[in-house]
Structure 1
């Protein structure tokens, strides 16, 4: 009977000891993989290249297209953001951002991801506006130019002249498809930039202490959540 009580007491003390023990510190190797999502930077690079290539294909249809109609600038900026992301991945990790280079690159990456998000939304808005226009165009060929109007019967309607176009089908068909493709690419690009900015924000600000001390006051160990 005495041995049973002793065994029960030992079990209670063992459970209490386990409960009082602070959790082991996190392995730094786990944070090294998740400190910057390599997949996000790769997606940013691929999307940036895709947006740039499509923009130059649009410019090849007619040299008179404006810069807002061919958003190669949005793709180039995202390529720069992805390169900065790869640099951040290669920077040596230090807890609590004790490395000034690590902090600076993280801050720049967060800012550029936010700027990339805004620019992608702006490029998507331009592409959506021009897509709605070109899909409603009534065009006619005049020499080597293609002259388009939204309403052919309106004598004072605004005229859009596309130079160097041998067939107006390029404007009403191919160029319209390019605008639709730019809407999709820039939408995905904006989402990827938002994910990158959110991950940086979460890594910097969403790691906090629960305020519950585990163990004796002398150990001064806190539970991280």
Structure 2
């Protein structure tokens, strides 16, 4: 009996020694997963900015809300914070102020990115429906468009330096549709990033690692 008890104590001590410490350099699931989210935010931000500058190349008279390069630039900075968050060593219960500040900043920026993407979708959707119904004619180097040619007081849109009016009804309309799809994907990614930060802060992630003991089971929280 004495040898059996001594053997069980040695085995229990060995399991305790092999178990990872709470402050080990394991990264939490909420700190690793934003690597994918940040990468998607970076790619979408670059795509939105590139499409916006392509739209601006059609006519320099396009308004800022019609060429939402600012939405892509903001998402670029959000992704940079996500990469910084991934590089920070995880500490349980946010024992470092740097970890807490970066996680909070990333959460706030994801929410801001979500709101901005929704605004861009609203603007792009309005301009898409408006541009697709324009009637345009070439006036020297500009393209003059109206919503209704039979209405003498209808609002007139002048696209300076557009060259061919087919670009307004075709290419520009396609760019607006592309902005809607890109910013919709951008809004979904920002929502996922904000949800991960909220869930990591107020709920529990488990790594799936179970460390068994003689009487109880301990789960490693990550």
TM-score class normalised by the smaller sequence: 0.7 to 0.9
2:109 aligns with 112
Query: 1:46-57, aligned counterparts within 5 Å?
Result: 46-57=43-54
Q: Whole-Å Cα distance in 1 between the matches of residues 115 and 179 of structure 2?
A: 15
Q: Does the CA contact (< 8 Å) of 1:48 and 1:79 recur in 2?
A: yes
Q: Give a deviation string over 1:8-46, Cα, whole Å, max 9, x none.
A: xxxxxxxxxxxxxxxx77985664455232111000000
Does the 8 A contact of 1:148 with 1:159 survive in 2?
yes
Question: Do 2:30 and 2:200's aligned partners in 1 also have CA atoms closer than 8 Å?
Answer: no
Aligned to 1:8: none
Q: Distance in 1 between matches of 2:130 and 2:46?
A: 26
Q: Specify the alignment match of 2:7 in structure 1.
A: none
In the alignment, is the contact (CA less than 8 A) between 2:142 and 2:158 conserved in 1? yes
Q: CA deviation at 1:165?
A: 1.1
SS in 2 for 1:173: helix
- Could you state the TM-score of these two structures normalised by the residue count of structure 1? 0.80
Alignment partner, residue 198 of structure 2: 201
SS of match in other structure, 2:40:
helix
**Number of residue pairs aligned between Structure 1 and Structure 2:** 200
- Residue 207 of structure 1 deviates from its aligned partner by 2.4
Bigger radius of gyration? 1
Q: Where does residue 35 of structure 1 map in the other structure?
A: 31
SS in 2 for 1:166: coil
Structure 1 residues 224, 86: closer, same or farther in 2, change over 3 A? closer
Q: TM-score, normalising length from structure 2?
A: 0.81
| Alpha-carbon distance in 2 for matches of 1:118, 1:143 | 40
RMSD between superposed Cα atoms in Å:
3.0
Aligned equivalents of 1:26, 1:58: Cα separation in 2: 54
Per-residue deviation, residues 126-168 of structure 1 (Å, max 9, x unmatched): 0000000010010000000100011111111000000001100
CA distance in 1, matches of 2:219, 2:78: 35
Work out the CA distance in 2 between the residues paired with 1:30 and 1:202. 18
Structure 2 residues without counterparts, runs of 5 or longer: 1-18, 206-212
The equivalent of 1:92 in structure 2 is: 89
1:92-125 CA distance string (max 9 Å, x none): 2111101100000000000000000000000111
Looking at structure 2, the residues matched to 74 and 86 of structure 1 have their Cα atoms a distance apart, in angstroms, of 19
For residue 72 of structure 1, what is the aligned residue in structure 2? Answer: 69
Matched, 1:141 2:141: no
Q: Which runs of 5+ in 1 are unaligned?
A: 1-23, 209-214
CA contact (8 A) 2:133 2:147 kept: yes
How far residue 224 of structure 1 moved from its aligned partner, in angstroms, is: 8.3
